[in-house]
Structure 1
Amino acid sequence: MSTRFDAIIIGAGQAGPSLADRLTKAGMTVALVERNLFGGTCVNTGCIPTKTLVASARVAHLARRAEEFGVMLDGPVRVDMARVKARMDAVSGRSRENVEKWLRGMTGCTVLQGHARFESPNTLRVGDEVLTAERIFINVGGRAAVPDMPGVRDVPFLTNSTILDLGTLPRHLVVIGGSYIGLEYAQMYRRFGSAVTVVEKGPRLIGREDQDVSDAVKDILEKEGVRVRLDAECIRFAPHPDGVAVGVTCASGEEPEVVASHVLLAVGRRPNTDDLGLDKAGVETDARGTITVDDQLRTSAPGVWAMGDCNGRGAFTHTSYNDFEIVAANVLDDDPRRVSDRIPAYGLFIDPPLGRVGMTDDAVRKSGRRALVGMRPMTRVGRAVEKGEAQGFMKIVVDADSREILGAAILGPGGDEAIHSVVDMMYAKAPYPTLQRAVHIHPTVSELIPTLLGELKPLR
């Protein structure tokens, strides 16, 4: 005996609940299945808890700098990690509870907790219950990847999820992976008081960024006392009386290993698709398990869509939400929105943060376009200087012929917010003189974006 619905959603991450809301308001009966925590990665192990920790770490950092601003504090700054964790748990917990309450109170939505597995393209089993629907939406997210590095299974290690369980301060945190997740944890734990070493296999941090961004981020972290080991071609692990010995190089003349009290693996993520029975539904995946989708997020199985991290088309909270918008527009609104209409934009939430949109300089060069670039260090941005946060820079690159804005990076105070001035112009397809002639508020970081566009030089 099976229960029939108009639609089934697997996963209560960023896209799933919003889609359930739209579908039920359209008069459909919806089953939403969640096997773990409501809210998905963002609410439970991603954006909300980590940015809550970043906020606590920033307060500690500013407190240590108080005398620079003429503010005198008595005694050394102490960080109570138990209270830091309690605050994080409370913020994350409220968000999770709100998502669950929303879903359970949604008219027309049946919430089931359990592990959903396909039995056919339109049939799922959840425990003893069998569900059928003409439309099934997969929103199962992803998890930390654990690569098969020598010795990794012989030592204790943390991932971006399990590190959130720590209520004490690591003596020495070694972060394997010099990209977005790893760098955020590296800086925050350094500010909490841990010794921190970042171990990156590649020649520079955040390799998808331009060299100048990578260099500036490295400089910011190193000035706060984070050690960075690049070109770590021999990463390996072994038990040690003081924790874990992390091998970082095979070259002679260099320190071959670092001894960590705790190791964080931040070397990528993988989709949660290996135990869904996708083969029984005819849903195709690639070698990593990422679900193959078309430009409107339809899978190879008719009537089945995939949204969020499991489809490999964004892997950010904002792209997951946009996946919901694309699916809803096509299914409900007769509006043919597409993933390819999306302009890449994201942030690196170290402090100061990086806001990025569009093409990097390297990508523009490879495209063969004739381009212009404007750049200004934060030492020449009044707002940054006033706040005592003049690290980083801002830059924008445009097409010299079409005057199209191609991309921008703002690494500095408020960079994650200021970048939206450029994002919006790019979606409006406005030529760069439109933004150049805008009158922004002083004193802000954003006010220098028009100035950048008045100082363009050929991109070399």
Structure 2
Amino acid sequence: MSQRFEAIIIGTGQAGPALAARLSGSGMKVAIIERGRFGGTCVNTGCIPTKTLVASAYAARLARRAAEYGVVIGGPITIDMKQVKARKDQISERSSSNVEKWVRGLAHCTVYQGHARFESANTVRVGDELLEAERIFINVGGRALIPPMPGLDQVPYLTNSTMMDVDFLPEHLIVVGGSYIGLEFGQMYRRFGSRVTIVERGPRLIQREDEDVSQAVQEILEAEGIDVQLDSNCLTARRDGDKVVVGLDCSGGAREAAGSHLLLAVGRVPNTDALGLDKAGIATNAHGYIEVDEQLRTNVPGIWALGDCNGRGAFTHTSYNDYEIVAANLLDNDPRKVSDRIPAYALFIDPPLGRVGMTLNEAKQSGRKLLVGTRPMTRVGRAVEKGESQGFMRAIVDADTGAILGASILGVTGDEVVHSLLDVMYAEMPYTTISRAVHVHPTVTELVPTMLQDLQPVA
């Protein structure tokens, strides 16, 4: 005998609980299913715990630099990794607990714990329970990709999830993957005191960014003593005593990196492989992501996919926006769609990279006539005053319309500053809206108008 609901939500990541609150608040009888810890990746193994670790690593770095600011600290700086982990656990667990209390306290909402599997297009099994609804929302997130790397099955390795259990300092951490997750973990553990080698298959780090951004990030990491190995396009792994050895190429004089621990950070895969999607007839692409339209509907009427599992965004903020799109269309008679949103994200190394819209390469490929403004952080007073003047800021403008097409801000508070440009882009106003604004001094943001007052044509 099945339990009947008006809506079933699978997963309690960023989109799920908020959607459950809206649907149950509208009077619907809702079931929400969670197989593990409440809150999904962000709360448990992603944003919240990793940024808590980044904060501890920043404190360690600042303490070591105290003398530069005229601050005398007696004795060497030491890191208590058990306390670092305990602080991270406390903050992460509080967030997870709050999500669980929230969904359990919702009116008209029943929480089921266990692994969900479709049995048809409107029935889902959780353990011995069979749930039925005309509306089903899939919000199952993703996990670390384990690459087909020869020898990997013979060595121990870590992922972003298992790194959450580390309460010790690796002597030498080898990070395979030169993008966001790998760079953040690499820098933080270098600051905790580990030797760190970052291995990247491609010719540069964070290859989705412009070449000069990649180069500047590499220089920041190398200045802290991180070994960056690029063009590592034939990766292998093996044990050598208590060491893990990663082969970097297959040439005659093969390069190798030997370390105490190995972290894999080469991408993500969606948690869709064990949902029984075939029984519901739900289409996925070659990588397992659920195919959705502009309003996040799957090919099966009455089934939606939100968050990382739909391949339309891999961030907490895009997942939450997925909830907003679905709720607006279902409940508010407000036809919102995925293409309304402007790409925006950040790389949370220190200093961070804030990114919105197009890269310069993408803008050039669009065939538009361009204007570009650039300013090094060495000419930003607030950055110099803080002793954190690495990086640069850049904005790209359509020369014909004055529209801001994109921006990269690599520098102190760049992850916050970039929103002043993003908001003007959403308002569909020309760059003069912000170039003529009067910002507070001394701040980093005050140099955004200055940068936009000195736009130069791009050949």
Q: TM-score range by the shorter chain?
A: over 0.9
* Contact 1:64–1:77 (8 Å) recurs in 2: yes
Q: Which residue of 2 aligns with 1:274?
A: 273
* Alpha-carbon separation, structure 2, partners of 1:63 and 1:231: 35
Match for 1:55: what amino acid? A
Q: What is the one-letter code of the residue matched to 1:267?
A: V
Please name the residue that 2:237 is paired with. 237
1:99 partner SS: helix
Matches within 5 A, 1:301-450: 301-450=300-449
Q: Would you say 1:138 and 2:138 are equivalent positions?
A: yes
Distance in 2, Cα, partners of 1:274 & 1:252: 39
> Residue 41 of structure 2 corresponds to which residue in structure 1?
41
Q: Is the 8 A contact 1:201 1:230 kept in 2?
A: yes
State the match for 1:173 in structure 2: 173
In the alignment, is the contact (CA less than 8 A) between 1:242 and 1:259 conserved in 2?
Answer: no
Residue in 2 that maps onto 1:74? 74
Partner of 1:219: 219
Q: CA RMSD in A?
A: 0.8
C-alpha separation between the residues in 2 aligned to 1:337 and 1:412?
A: 33
Displacement of 1:215 in angstroms is: 0.4
Moved more, 201-210 or 281-290: 281-290
Distance 1:157 1:446 in 2: 41
Say if 1:197 and 1:226, in contact at 8 Å, map to a contact too: yes
How many residue pairs get aligned? The number is: 459
2:246 matches 1:246: yes
Indicate yes or no: 2:193 matched with 1:193: yes
Secondary structure at 1:297's aligned position in 2?
Answer: coil
- Choose 164-173 or 239-248, whichever is displaced more: 239-248
- Per-residue displacement from partner, 1:244-285 (whole Å, max 9, x unpaired)? 1111123456x7111110000000000000010101111100
Paired amino acid for 1:331: L
Q: Which amino acid is the alignment partner of residue 234 of structure 1?
A: C
Q: Which amino acid aligns with 1:425?
A: V
* Structure 1 counterpart SS, 2:137: strand
> Tell me, what secondary structure is at the counterpart of 1:132?
strand
Q: Which amino acid aligns with 1:222?
A: E
Report the residue type matching 2:255 in the other structure: P
Preserved contact between residue 173 and residue 195 of structure 1 (Cα < 8 Å): yes
Does structure 2 retain, via aligned residues, the 8 Å contact 1:197–1:229?
A: yes
**Whole-Å Cα distance in 2 between the matches of residues 139 and 39 of structure 1?**
11
- Matched with 1:123 is 123
The 1-side partners of 2:123 and 2:202 are apart by 44
The answer to whether the 8 Å contact 1:8/1:135 transfers is yes
- Please list every run of at least 4 consecutive aligned residues from structure 1 whose deviation after the TM superposition is greater than 4 angstroms: none
Q: Does 1:19 align with 2:19?
A: yes
Asked if 2 retains the 8 angstrom alpha-carbon contact of 1:36 and 1:114, the reply is: yes
- Residue aligning to 1:164: 164
How many Å apart are 1:459 and its aligned residue? 1.9
1:242 CA displacement: 3.0
Matching of residues 146-157 of structure 1 within 5 Å: 146-157=146-157
Residue 364 of structure 1 aligns to which amino acid in structure 2? A
Structure 1 equivalent of residue 104 of structure 2: 104
Q: Which residue of 2 aligns with 1:259?
A: 258
Question: Aligned equivalents of 1:202 and 1:103: distance in 2?
Answer: 43
In structure 2, distance between residues paired with 1:339 and 1:243: 46
Taking only the aligned residue pairs, the percentage that are identical comes to: 68
Does 1:2 pair with 2:2? yes
Counterpart of 1:115, as a letter, is H
Q: CA separation in 1, counterparts of 2:153 and 2:368?
A: 48
- Per-residue CA distance 1:188-227 (angstroms, 9 max, x = gap): 0000000000000000000000001000000000000010
Which deviations, in whole Å up to 9, do the C-alpha atoms of 1:407-456 show, x marking residues without a partner? 00111010000000001000000101111111111111110111111110
Establish whether residue 63 from structure 1 lines up as the match of residue 63 from structure 2.
yes
Provide Cα deviations, 1:63-104, integer angstroms capped at 9, x if missing partner: 000000000011110000000000000000000000000111
CA distance in 2, matches of 1:362, 1:59: 35
SS class of match (2:434): helix
Q: Find the counterpart in structure 2 of residue 90 from structure 1.
A: 90
Equivalent residues of 1:440, 1:447 under 8 A apart: yes
How far is the alpha carbon of 1:235 from its aligned partner?
Answer: 1.1
User: 1:288 corresponds to which letter in structure 2?
Assistant: H
TM superposition score normalised by structure 2: 0.99
Measured in 2, the distance between the counterparts of 1:221 and 1:296 equals 40
User: 1:58: how far off?
Assistant: 0.2
59-68 vs 234-243, greater mean Cα deviation: 234-243
How far apart are the structure 1 equivalents of 2:394 and 2:379?
A: 13
What is the one-letter code of the residue matched to 1:307? L
How far apart, CA to CA, are the structure 2 residues paired with 1:250 and 1:134? 54
Contact 1:184–1:350 (8 Å) recurs in 2:
yes
Residues 252, 375 of structure 1: alpha-carbon distance in 2 compared, 3 angstrom cutoff: farther
> Aligned partners of 2:251, 2:260: CA distance in 1, in Å?
24
Q: Which amino acid aligns with 2:38?
A: F
Q: Distance in 2 between matches of 1:28 and 1:402?
A: 46
CA distance in structure 2 between the aligned counterparts of 1:115 and 1:65, rounded to whole angstroms:
48
Alignment-mate amino acid for residue 45 of structure 1: T
Secondary structure of 2:314's counterpart equals: coil
Distance (Å, rounded) in 2 between the aligned partners of 1:75 and 1:25 = 57
Structure 2 unaligned spans of 5+: none
Matched to 2:365, the amino acid is K
CA separation in 1, counterparts of 2:111 and 2:249?
Answer: 51
> In the TM superposition, what whole-angstrom CA distance separates every residue of 1:303-351 from its partner, at most 9, and x where no partner exists?
0000000000001000000000000001111111000011000000000
